[in-house]
Amino acid sequence: MNLGHMLEDLEELVGCESFSADHEAVARSAAVVAEQGFRRLGARPETIVIDGVTHLRWTFGTPRVLILGHHDTVWPIGTLERIPWSLTDGIARGPGVFDMKAGLVQAFHALAALPSPDGVCVLVTGDEEVGSPSSRALIEETARECAATFVLEASGEGGALKTARKGTSNYEITVYGKAAHAGLEPEKGANAGIELAHQILALSTLGQGTTTVTPTVLSGGVTVNTVPALAKVSVDVRSASIAEQTRVDELVRALTPRIPGTRLQVDGGPNRPPMEEAAAAELFELACRIAKDLDMEPLRAVSVGGASDGNFSAGVGCPTLDGLGALGGGAHAPHEHVVVSEMPIRTELLTELVASVLTGKDGR
């Protein structure tokens, strides 16, 4: 693998900002990714725009392997001025370099090293960082027909592959109360803020084991001297199994108000299903064998709380191995970085993984 060419490609991608909420920026990024993919793979992708979000899909023959990634980032436009692309002492920095533009570079170079990409589908989505609302169906319909999905999200700590991810659920709980003057006649109101406090305490008891239920964004009230008639809380739920995701969903929907005159509205629900370890087990064993043949350090597996589009491919029954992207750290943080010396060998690992599935050497 030519590291110099990989770094040129990485600088190009990082230099095109792609904040998820800015659909025009995502479209510009998609054009850059499409051109880079054309240079490396010799084929132009299908450009798919759904709800204003631009996704890219390359399909070679009848797909057996899905290569999955995203080109949107969490970084608002203008971040590049504050955190510019840099390459110093073997460390590349810049918005989105680790999550997950280096992974896209590795994917294109890995496939370019195959004798033929026939049997591969590359899907690069534009809304992963916001839950993949417009790309979920694309991911699932492709993954259902494939024997394996390889996700080019960044690696876990020390280069670990991600063999399990928690599923995510997101809720917004709205409390409707009754306004009244806070000084003259507060007893005539129904305080939505106090009711929301009761609900937050109730929510805090729903997690168990590795399942987390976390109230996050709060809002309520209009003026300091008015009993609030409206209050809201957003809730983040992470579950390692479908059973746990369902349990919490049922309990959240069963919440009832404590204060007379208030009522609750629960919106949202499960977003990404869990990616359970069974979905990655065989592919991880295959990766370990290949890594040994490549004289790599022994691979490690890790289970993480964060979700990815790999949750969707695993959720429809496609064996899925995640975290095959860059080695580094600092996702979503100013110190985001990639260890560039690891890019070629991780790219070679992906090449061999894809080749093994396409040729049937994976044993399936």
Choose among 97, 16, 96, 29: nearest CA to 340.
Answer: 97
pLDDT band for 73, please (50, 70, 90 cuts).
very high
Mean pLDDT along residues 330-347:
96
Q: What is the CATH number of the domain that holds 311?
A: 3.40.630.10
Q: In this structure, are 200 and 226 located in the same domain? A: yes
Of 244, 272, 300, the residue that ends a domain is 272
Q: In this structure, are 154 and 222 located in the same domain? A: no
Q: Does residue 364 lie in a domain region?
A: no
Q: In this structure, are 211 and 240 located in the same domain? A: yes
Mean pLDDT along residues 321-329:
97
Q: In this structure, are 154 and 44 located in the same domain? A: yes
Choose among 349, 292, 324, 326: nearest CA to 162.
Answer: 324
Of 230, 247, 272, the residue that ends a domain is 272
pLDDT of residue 1: 80
Q: In this structure, are 227 and 122 located in the same domain? A: no
Domain hosting 261: range is: 167-272
Of 213, 244, 272, the residue that ends a domain is 272
Q: In this structure, are 211 and 347 located in the same domain? A: no
pLDDT band for 360, please (50, 70, 90 cuts).
confident
In degrees, rounded to 5, the angle at the alpha carbon of residue 178 between the alpha carbons of residues 172 and 180 is: 135
Q: Does residue 248 lie in a domain region?
A: yes
| Size (the chain), residues | 364
Q: In this structure, are 299 and 288 located in the same domain? A: yes
Mean pLDDT along residues 89-99:
97
pLDDT band for 194, please (50, 70, 90 cuts).
very high
Q: In this structure, are 143 and 228 located in the same domain? A: no
Reply yes or no on whether the pLDDT at 364 is more than 60: no
pLDDT of residue 351: 98
Mean pLDDT along residues 215-226:
97
Is the Cβ–Cβ distance between 73 and 18 less than 8 Å? yes
pLDDT band for 13, please (50, 70, 90 cuts).
very high
Q: In this structure, are 314 and 324 located in the same domain? A: yes
Reply yes or no on whether the pLDDT at 362 is more than 80: no
Q: In this structure, are 154 and 43 located in the same domain? A: yes
Q: In this structure, are 291 and 267 located in the same domain? A: no
Mean pLDDT along residues 89-111:
98
Reply yes or no on whether the pLDDT at 96 is more than 60: yes
In the chain, the number of structural domains is 2
Eight-class DSSP state of 94:
S
Q: Is the pTM of this model over 0.95?
A: no
Is the Cβ–Cβ distance between 151 and 313 less than 8 Å? yes
**Which parts of the chain are beta strand (E)?**
46-50, 53-59, 65-70, 86-88, 91-93, 120-125, 148-151, 161-165, 167-176, 212-220, 230-239, 263-272, 301-304, 320-321, 328-329, 337-339
Q: In this structure, are 7 and 125 located in the same domain? A: yes
Task: Output the average pLDDT for the chain.
Answer: 96
Q: Does residue 300 lie in a domain region?
A: yes
